[in-house]
Chain A
Amino acid sequence: NAGVTQTPKFQVLKTGQSMTLQCAQDMNHNSMYWYRQDPGMGLRLIYYSASEGTTDKGEVPNGYNVSRLNKREFSLRLESAAPSQTSVYFCASSPNSGPLSGRQPQHFGDGTRLSIL
């Protein structure tokens, strides 16, 4: 079972370059999420999509855009990368949306390690 698949696994960018991180899940989940993980700060929510066709800002959305392409795919785009965006990015999904969204655990991908020089 593939679960949540993220591509690429590693990437190095120069300041100002743009890039899109891809995420796909094969569990027919409604909700999808993008987090960043930084040393000493834990995971922080960037954006989430409660269901196909909807997206909402999380805790740290500045400098990012997202697209919920279909039920399976949720991409994260950096339009003009900055060194402060060097991080490990995780995509996650969960079965439910709305009031039931908290009753099921989130399933995580293996992450994209992004370095911006």
Chain B
Amino acid sequence: KQEVTQIPAALSVPEGENLVLNCSFTDSAIYNLQWFRQDPGKGLTSLLLIQSSQREQTSGRLNASLDKSSGRSTLYIAASQPGDSATYLCAVKYSGGATNKLIFGTGTLLAVQP
């Protein structure tokens, strides 16, 4: 079964700290991997999308890496701010099967303390 796991489920850090969120997937035959942010009571906002042929993507203070062979992705957030507090979800699109199907992890709830 194709699964996506995110550990830890929750994380609290002081403002200014660099942090890493983890995502692991069971099948290395992925098409791409996306990181999303979800604020309370809101929908998902796409942060970064990494194609299977790429190793990393960067946007501002965010850097996402992809290692297909080990089934892992990390989201690195530099110099965290209270405004970064949200739930971060990763989602994998696998090759083959239903073309538009994303498999989501259950997310990491991040709290950045001022």
A residues within 8 Å of B by Cβ? Answer: 4, 31, 33, 40-45, 48, 50, 56, 58-59, 90, 92, 94, 97-99, 101-111
Tell me if B18 counts as interface (CB < 8 A to partner A). Answer: no
Distance of B102 from chain A, by nearest CB (Å):
7
Known contacts A42-B106, A50-B100, A58-B101; is-contact A103 B51 (Cβ 8 Å): yes
B residues within 8 Å of A by Cβ? Answer: 4, 31-32, 34, 36, 41-46, 49, 51, 89, 91, 93, 98-102, 104-107
Cβ-defined contact, A50 with B99, below 8 A: yes
**Once bound together, how far apart are the Cα atoms of A103 and B98, in whole Å?**
15
Q: B43: which of A56, A99, A105, A110 is its contact (CB, 8 Å)?
A: A110
**Once bound together, how far apart are the Cα atoms of A56 and B97, in whole Å?**
12
Residues from chain B with Cβ under 8 Å of A107 in the complex: 46
**Once bound together, how far apart are the Cα atoms of A92 and B93, in whole Å?**
15
Distance of B25 from chain A, by nearest CB (Å):
12
A-B residue pairs in contact (CB < 8 Å), sample of 11 = A43-B44, A43-B89, A44-B104, A48-B98, A50-B100, A90-B44, A92-B44, A97-B99, A102-B100, A108-B36, A109-B43
Known contacts A42-B106, A102-B32, A103-B51; is-contact A110 B101 (Cβ 8 Å): no
Cβ-defined contact, A103 with B32, below 8 A: yes
